[in-house]
Amino acid sequence: MAVTLKLLIPRKHAENAQTVQYTSPAGTKAVIDKFTVTNTSGAVAYLSVNLIASGGAAGTNNLVMQARAVSPGEAYTCPELVGQVLEAGSMISTLASAATALTISAGGREIV
Protein backbone atom coordinates (compact mmCIF):
# COMPACT_ATOMS: atom_id res chain seq x y z
CA MET A 1 0.00 0.00 0.00
CA ALA A 2 1.45 3.36 -1.07
CA VAL A 3 0.38 6.61 0.60
CA THR A 4 1.01 9.93 -1.15
CA LEU A 5 0.47 13.36 0.36
CA LYS A 6 -1.55 15.38 -2.13
CA LEU A 7 -2.95 18.84 -2.68
CA LEU A 8 -6.48 17.68 -3.49
CA ILE A 9 -7.82 21.14 -4.35
CA PRO A 10 -5.27 23.85 -5.19
CA ARG A 11 -6.27 27.32 -3.93
CA LYS A 12 -9.05 28.70 -6.10
CA HIS A 13 -12.32 30.59 -5.96
CA ALA A 14 -15.32 28.37 -5.30
CA GLU A 15 -17.86 28.72 -8.10
CA ASN A 16 -21.46 29.81 -7.55
CA ALA A 17 -22.67 26.68 -9.38
CA GLN A 18 -22.32 23.11 -8.12
CA THR A 19 -18.78 22.15 -9.23
CA VAL A 20 -16.71 18.99 -8.78
CA GLN A 21 -13.37 20.09 -7.33
CA TYR A 22 -11.65 16.70 -6.92
CA THR A 23 -12.22 13.10 -8.01
CA SER A 24 -10.38 10.21 -6.38
CA PRO A 25 -8.48 8.33 -9.14
CA ALA A 26 -9.30 4.75 -10.14
CA GLY A 27 -7.91 2.20 -7.70
CA THR A 28 -7.25 4.92 -5.13
CA LYS A 29 -8.82 6.04 -1.86
CA ALA A 30 -8.36 9.61 -0.65
CA VAL A 31 -8.49 11.01 2.88
CA ILE A 32 -9.17 14.71 3.49
CA ASP A 33 -6.70 16.01 6.07
CA LYS A 34 -7.51 19.71 5.78
CA PHE A 35 -10.10 21.78 3.94
CA THR A 36 -9.98 25.56 4.23
CA VAL A 37 -12.34 28.26 3.01
CA THR A 38 -11.44 31.96 3.26
CA ASN A 39 -13.78 34.85 2.59
CA THR A 40 -11.89 37.55 0.72
CA SER A 41 -14.97 39.68 0.05
CA GLY A 42 -16.60 42.39 2.12
CA ALA A 43 -19.82 40.47 2.81
CA VAL A 44 -20.84 37.18 4.42
CA ALA A 45 -20.69 34.33 1.89
CA TYR A 46 -21.88 30.73 2.15
CA LEU A 47 -20.32 27.42 1.13
CA SER A 48 -21.89 23.98 0.76
CA VAL A 49 -19.82 20.82 0.25
CA ASN A 50 -20.98 17.43 -1.02
CA LEU A 51 -18.99 14.18 -0.89
CA ILE A 52 -20.39 12.19 -3.80
CA ALA A 53 -19.95 8.44 -4.38
CA SER A 54 -18.68 7.28 -7.76
CA GLY A 55 -21.40 7.64 -10.40
CA GLY A 56 -23.56 9.78 -8.12
CA ALA A 57 -24.68 13.39 -8.18
CA ALA A 58 -24.80 16.18 -5.60
CA GLY A 59 -27.89 15.96 -3.41
CA THR A 60 -29.12 16.12 0.17
CA ASN A 61 -28.03 12.50 0.71
CA ASN A 62 -24.33 13.44 0.36
CA LEU A 63 -24.33 17.00 1.70
CA VAL A 64 -21.69 17.25 4.44
CA MET A 65 -21.57 21.02 4.96
CA GLN A 66 -24.68 23.05 4.14
CA ALA A 67 -24.52 26.79 3.47
CA ARG A 68 -21.84 27.46 6.10
CA ALA A 69 -21.66 31.24 6.64
CA VAL A 70 -18.12 32.60 6.32
CA SER A 71 -17.64 36.17 7.53
CA PRO A 72 -15.52 38.72 5.65
CA GLY A 73 -11.85 38.00 6.35
CA GLU A 74 -12.60 34.69 8.10
CA ALA A 75 -10.64 31.51 7.39
CA TYR A 76 -12.68 28.41 8.33
CA THR A 77 -10.99 24.99 8.51
CA CYS A 78 -14.08 22.79 7.96
CA PRO A 79 -13.81 20.14 10.71
CA GLU A 80 -16.86 18.45 9.10
CA LEU A 81 -14.62 17.32 6.24
CA VAL A 82 -11.41 16.34 8.06
CA GLY A 83 -10.97 12.57 8.14
CA GLN A 84 -13.59 11.87 5.47
CA VAL A 85 -12.61 9.02 3.13
CA LEU A 86 -13.34 9.06 -0.59
CA GLU A 87 -13.45 5.71 -2.37
CA ALA A 88 -12.18 5.42 -5.96
CA GLY A 89 -14.22 7.66 -8.27
CA SER A 90 -15.78 9.60 -5.39
CA MET A 91 -15.85 13.39 -5.60
CA ILE A 92 -15.68 16.60 -3.59
CA SER A 93 -18.17 19.11 -4.97
CA THR A 94 -18.80 22.66 -3.77
CA LEU A 95 -21.35 25.42 -4.17
CA ALA A 96 -20.61 29.02 -3.13
CA SER A 97 -23.14 31.82 -2.75
CA ALA A 98 -20.93 34.22 -4.72
CA ALA A 99 -18.49 33.43 -7.54
CA THR A 100 -15.37 35.20 -6.28
CA ALA A 101 -15.99 35.63 -2.54
CA LEU A 102 -14.57 32.34 -1.21
CA THR A 103 -11.13 30.83 -1.73
CA ILE A 104 -10.98 27.09 -1.06
CA SER A 105 -8.17 24.55 -0.78
CA ALA A 106 -7.87 20.98 0.45
CA GLY A 107 -5.01 18.66 1.25
CA GLY A 108 -4.92 15.00 2.06
CA ARG A 109 -3.60 11.58 1.23
CA GLU A 110 -4.14 9.25 -1.69
CA ILE A 111 -3.84 5.55 -0.88
CA VAL A 112 -3.21 2.98 -3.61
Cα 24 from Cα 30, distance rounded (Å): 6
What's the one-letter identity of residue 12?
K
What is the pLDDT confidence band of residue 42, given thresholds at 50, 70 and 90? very high
Alpha carbons 11 and 2: distance in angstroms, whole number: 25
pTM for this structure? 0.95
CA gap 86, 30 in Å, rounded? 5
pLDDT cut 90: percent of the chain above it: 99
Structural domains counted in the chain: 1
Report the C-alpha gap between 61 and 52 in whole angstroms: 9
- Asked whether 31 and 24 are in contact (CB, 8 A), the reply is no
pLDDT tens readout for residues 67-93: 999 999 999 999 999 999 999 999 999
Start-to-end C-alpha separation, the chain = 6
Residue 84: CA atoms inside 13 Å, Cβ hemisphere, count? 25
Give the CATH number of the domain where residue 52 resides: 2.60.120.340
Q: Report the chain's mean pLDDT, rounded to a whole number.
A: 97
* Pair 31, 107: CB distance under 8 Å: no
Structural domain boundaries enclosing 94: 3-111
